[in-house]
Structure 1
Amino acid sequence: MDQLALERSTTKKVTLRLIPFLFLCFSISVLDRVNIGYAALQINNDLGFSNAVFGFGAGIFFLGYFLLEVPGSAMMAKIGPRKWISRIMVTWGILAFLETFVHTPIQFYTVRFLLGVAEASFYPCMVSYLSGFYQTKHHAKAIAGFMVAIPSTNAIGALLCTYLLSVNWFGLAGWQWLFISEAIPSVILGVICYFYLDDQIEKVNWLNKEEKKWLIDVTTKEKLEKQQVKHYTFLQALKDRDVLILSAGYFCWMVGYYGINMFLPTISKGLSEKISLSTQSMGWILFPMYICAMVTMILVGNHSDKKNERRWHVAVCLTISAIAMIVSSYIANASIILSFVFLTISLCGAFGAYAPFWAIPPSFLTGAAAGGAIALINSIGNLGGFFGPYIVGYIKDTTGSFNISMIFLGVSMIISSCIIVFLVKQSGKVKSSKFEKKLKKIS
């Protein structure tokens, strides 16, 4: 078998083996973000929470996430992704179930915080794990393959959550069933994960000897090349200039992203009520919005790999998202339909930036260093998930409108795009970068 055919055969097998399963696992993680947004439609009335209380509770999840993200990634490097990812999913499933029975703000804050602690390092572990099974040139497509779970789960969640909000089974309200729907599959998939994943390429039995040897050879060669450019340990990677800049850019992005995402059901309900749509009908409006975002994510990821460019793909997506978000808010009184159209464009931009952004760290770091860098970026960035929802809720309670909130969120995302495109150097664009020039000298 020639090298090209061998590459295609091996990459296809890796993709079919890993991407669908990691997609399912990541979907349950995303479902938590979806559930909490829709729960606001009932939980605030049932438990007497204000928008600020809900925003703080939704956001404090990311504070726990921040504190344990980097240590969790270090633990994965020691005990292996199979055991660590399995542990994460089982523990967060148990805590999601406990979330069903909160009654006071303190209970809500506590469970949300512990849920963040339990889930910490889940995403960077998955990205780091995948990067060990793919060549660098396939990273964006591979990442997009399982990250498409974000918009697709939001799409399906729009229908599932709006339906569950209408039920009252066994004395439990709809918002309680939202958390149960997350808890049960999380525990089940966590147990399966322990037996399904392989920690290293050498341990897999679903590739033949020729495919396994080829994959080990190409990934080992890339690791050695990266180490000659930046030979970092786990801790040294946390101090790298580009890693810190990417962390700052991701933070500003997540302020905008989670600020809108956590309150999107509430915003959409307000718009829907103006044209007399029920909560369940609103789900059918949100569904195609997230389908569009899913398609955009795949297309942007493929185009980023094709052009071998990352920074501008991220910046353009975030800028479009920010502008559309602000426009949507200010034309709502003139046209509800146009407002939803611009909300859709905003979602497409916010989701489209994911794949090229997360293809940047593995382009100049490898192994434990890459895992540590991804964990740091994700942990600092997700602090934006704490500030965004809280600030949106506070502004809404203070002004009675989401308009000023949308400006704040949009500006935050534009700042993110500027940071990434103008400050990130060698990691942002592998082609024609210092990184590539050094590789040419090495070869």
Structure 2
Amino acid sequence: NKHSTHKGKGRKPEKTVFVKHDVLLHTCGSLHPTEPLAVAVVFFLTRKIKAGRCRTAPLNVSRHVWEPQHNIPYRLSNGTNKGSDYQSGIKPVISIVTPLSQGSAVQNDTAVLVPSVPERPVVRGGYVTAQQVYNFLNAEAGEPALHNPDYILILDCRSTERYKQSHMVTARVSLTVLHPELGCLITRSQLQEYSIILLYGEEGDRADEGFTPALQRIPVAYHGSSRESAGDTPTLQRCFFQLSSLGMDPVVLQGGYAAFSRLYPFLCTPTMILLESERRALTIYPSEILEGALYQGSARQASDYRIIKNLHITHVLNATAECPDAFPSTLRYLHLRLNDDTHQDVAEIFPAATRFITQALRAEGGRVLVHCSLGRSRSSALTLAFLMEHRHWTLRHAYQWLKERRACAAPNDGFLRQLLSYEERLFGKKLTDLQDIRV
């Protein structure tokens, strides 16, 4: 018996109990979280631990798994019932988490993660990816971007016939703004109202072949057909030069319309959106955090079956205490009843949330939507915890990644402090300063 050193010579325990540590963040060989021990031994060791006299020093890194208990309800729905399978309690006990696909934070009692730097997609200068455009369109910092006519100007530089067949939602035919002979058909001040001016052709390897916007930003005088070669210049390049000559800073969709429509066909339409009422009727989608895998949004989006279907969501992490699971009979849920309060304890839930997302993404075709009420604070805390553990990113890198994809993400100060502590638990030391990420 590995606990014989604690029992004394000739003493036989009269009674055993099932014990757990009274002191969180402590584990040692003397007192295992789930080891049956004599009552007297439990009292003896617990006093030593509380007094700080345990011969085995507490670990710098400890992990938690979840054991259903009572009083603090949560629900794990597997998508095969009506959501009646309530389990109760998410009280943590000290344990080691099963290794993740990219390595577990704790492979043994002393291991810590080695931080890594996010790998960015390769994007040529002056270009943006289809995922970036998707998140631009669905940005919700204040008024939803799609509902704001002055946020983004999208110019379809393909033929009019191709535009009529299908185009990006809210896009305009380039000829209606930039004519090859008449020049720019709207004023410079109107152009300056837009936060983003986006151009796209048919395919990246055709419409913009050999064209590098970053190398073409030169102050040239370009007025319609003033260049003899204007008629021979591809439409996308001509539009780019016209806008640049007016002092604008347009960007080009990498891969063209083909790349975007393949990934986001639900944001493409043959209809031309002109009226404000038509804009406000457009659906705002959750932000895409990991391409084709992880999304973050609001409770309203999580309850819109069209969004769930179009994004092929299979798992939902509900981080609210106030919003029910919308589709428990068809989707798998983890419902963590959290309040958006600086005193809400979320650190003990991070491992469970991370494990749920990881297991979902391991499944074939698995896609996860993490949501709270507005998709800003509680959901952001859980997404950040996942990125830190699963991708081995520091809080600073994870926060930067999230903000680039969801500008409205803003975990409250209490959550940020707990994320800082979680970072120290994962990596064995503090790597991020709160001032580096405070909004």
Please classify the TM superposition score into its range, dividing by the shorter chain length: under 0.3
Which is higher, the Rg of structure 1 or of structure 2?
2
* TM-score, length-scaled by structure 2: 0.24
More helix by share: 1
Larger RCO (CA within 8 A; separation ≥ 6): 1
* TM-score, length-scaled by structure 1: 0.24
More strand by share: 2
